[in-house]
Amino acid sequence: MQDALSMIYLWLKAGHIIFVIFWMAGLFMLPRYFVYHQETAPDSPENALWVDRERKLLKIILLPSIIVVWVFGIALASSIGAWSQGWFHAKLLLVLILSGYHGWLSAYAKKLARGERPFTGKKLRLLNEVPGVAAALIVILVVVKPF
């Protein structure tokens, strides 16, 4: 029985890592798309192409990835009893922040689709660093387990 549970754990872990990679790739790509999108004329055919690209990235890559990441992550945390560990609380906070960032990106895509452009390309380039910093901190927490 223990062997079966450990195999399920390894499959959950592999799936979680795979979908984290997909999710992070999308979180890196979308703000870059926004930068290119904002450089187009609002009523141009190219603008419509960027709206479609952003919508597809959100619906085909980002949404399924965040769902699978959360489902597998909760299953993994439950299987190892991580809910009472300090490193896991910090990781969970960072994942919640990344999830909020994902939601913000989704809302910003809708603003761009309506023709609103509240941020500059420079600000969007800075915001593109959020997932990288969060990912680095999460990896340290999971691997090193400093507390």
What DSSP state is assigned to residue 40? S
Say whether 91 counts as a known binding-site residue: yes
Instruction: Please give the distance of CA 146 from its chain centroid, rounded to a whole number.
Output: 24
pLDDT band, residue 147 (cuts 50/70/90): very high
Cβ neighbors of 72 (< 8 A, separation 6 or more) are 12, 13, 15, 16, 19
Calculate what percentage of the chain has a pLDDT beyond 90: 93
Does the pLDDT value for residue 1 go beyond 80?
Answer: no
In angstroms, rounded to a whole number, what is the distance separating the alpha carbons of residues 94 and 100?
Answer: 10
For tokens 């062997």, the residue is 3
Query: If residue 6 lies in a helix (H) or strand (E), which one and from where to where?
Result: helix 2-38
Q: Would you state the pLDDT for residue 7? A: 81
Q: Residue range 116-127: average pLDDT?
A: 93
Say whether 13 counts as a known binding-site residue: no
Calculate what percentage of the chain has a pLDDT beyond 70: 98
Q: Would you state the pLDDT for residue 5? A: 67
pLDDT band, residue 4 (cuts 50/70/90): confident
Q: Residue range 44-53: average pLDDT?
A: 96
Does the pLDDT value for residue 46 go beyond 70?
Answer: yes
Q: Would you state the pLDDT for residue 20? A: 98
Does the pLDDT value for residue 3 go beyond 80?
Answer: no
For tokens 């910090």, the residue is 90
For tokens 């192409």, the residue is 49
pTM summary value: 0.93
Does the pLDDT value for residue 6 go beyond 90?
Answer: no
In angstroms, rounded to a whole number, what is the distance separating the alpha carbons of residues 61 and 64?
Answer: 6
**121 burial type by CB count under 10 A (0-12 exposed, 13-18 middle, 19+ buried):** middle
Does the pLDDT value for residue 85 go beyond 80?
Answer: yes
In angstroms, rounded to a whole number, what is the distance separating the alpha carbons of residues 68 and 15?
Answer: 8
Does the pLDDT value for residue 64 go beyond 70?
Answer: yes
DSSP string, 91-118: HHHHHHHHHHHHHHHHHHHHHHHTT---
Instruction: Please give the distance of CA 99 from its chain centroid, rounded to a whole number.
Output: 6
